[in-house]
Amino acid sequence: MSIAGSRFLSLSAQSPAAPPAGANTSLPRLPDGHPDLQGLWLKSAGGFQGLFIGSLDGTNFAAPGGGGRGGRAGGGPPPPPRYEYTPEAEAERQDRLKRGYEDPEARCHLPGVPRALDQPAGLYPVQIIQDDKYVALLHEAMHDVRIIPTDNSPHPKNYWAWDGDSRGRWDGDTFVVDVSNFNGRTWLDMAGNFVDENEHVVERFRLLDRDTILYEATVTDPTVFVKPVEMRFTLKRVPPEQQILEYSCLEGERSLQHYTNEDGGKKQRAR
């Protein structure tokens, strides 16, 4: 199975366009001249393997005495983003930090942006499918799908969503996505960092070489942050024998009944 190599959305017949002046000519490109971002990608330099040290096929069991972890293994962790909150938002963040069980993603809601890509490193890949009208991001985590038009169309006036509304454009060889229209309910991580409905994100995808995308996101939210939050990490190409797997989050969700606050008390809020 190779979705990555297919023309998922019909690519209109056209003559190959020349890449921009001064562009990296070694990058794979589509007939429209833009870099070909298609493929299966995974946050972190380590690939899936960075996550675990034990496997069942006899090649790589747990190290002696080691329980193992390492979601950020393989190339080291990306620099943590700096969150500079307004005083009111800082108090809210500290409160949420104690109430990790209220994280919407822990309840199988969509992660929002940029968390759709900022998942634990080495775990959930994203598949990119692209033509001259759309770039589609198929995130394994939470079965999250973003089909991003690149036709200069505006955000709608009457639509708000977990992932907001994404509109893409090409800035030279960089794919730039403007994301707005958020529902304001998402957390940025499991540590209580959050945004509200005024969130606005600019994402930048730049193919550094055939197997590496530099992903950068700038998150602004004037009612939450006093300065924009910057994120930056690389996505590495996953071997072609791998594929997106099913993630039916509610299938076996049994953690809700055990969620507790910091001191072990049961304090679940309905969301």
Partner 1 sequence: MSDAPDHRTELRPVRPSVGVFLAAVVALASNDAGVSAHHSFAAEFDFQKPVTLKGAVVQWEMINPHGWITIDVRAEDGKTARWMVETSNPNGLMRLGWTKRSLKPGDEITVEGYKAKDGSNTANAATVTLADGRKVFAGSSGTPAGTPGTANDK
Residues that bind partner 1 (CB under 8 A): 46-63, 65-75, 100-101, 103, 105-106, 108, 120, 122-124, 140, 190-191, 239, 241-243, 245-249, 251-255, 258-260, 262, 264, 266
Helix (H, G, I), strand (E, B) or coil at 179: strand
- The smaller minimum CB distance to partner 1, of residues 103 and 203, is found at 103
Q: Which amino acid is at 85?
A: Y
* Of residues 104 and 168, the one with the C-beta less far from partner 1: 104
> Which pair of structure tokens corresponds to residue 122?
């080495």
Contacts of 91 (CB under 8 A, 6+ apart): none
In angstroms, the CA 48 to CA 42 distance is: 8
Distance CA 231, CA 1 (A): 33
In terms of C-beta density within 10 A (0-12 exposed, 13-18 middle, 19 or more buried), how is residue 34 classed? buried
Q: Nearest distance from residue 70's CB to partner 1, in Å?
A: 3
CB of 59 to partner 1, least distance (A): 6
In angstroms, give the least distance from the CB of 134 to partner 1. 26
Measured from the CB of residue 152, what is the shortest distance to partner 1 in angstroms?
36
Q: Which of 4, 35, 33, 38 is nearest to 19 (CA)?
A: 33
Q: Which residue, 154 or 239, has its beta carbon nearer to partner 1?
A: 239
Q: How far is the CB of 169 from partner 1 (least distance, A)?
A: 32
Nearer to partner 1, 134 or 247 (CB): 247
Please state, in angstroms and rounded to a whole number, the distance separating the CA atoms of residues 223 and 216: 22
What are the beta bridge partners of residue 146?
137
- Residue 118 or 173 having the CB closest to partner 1: 118
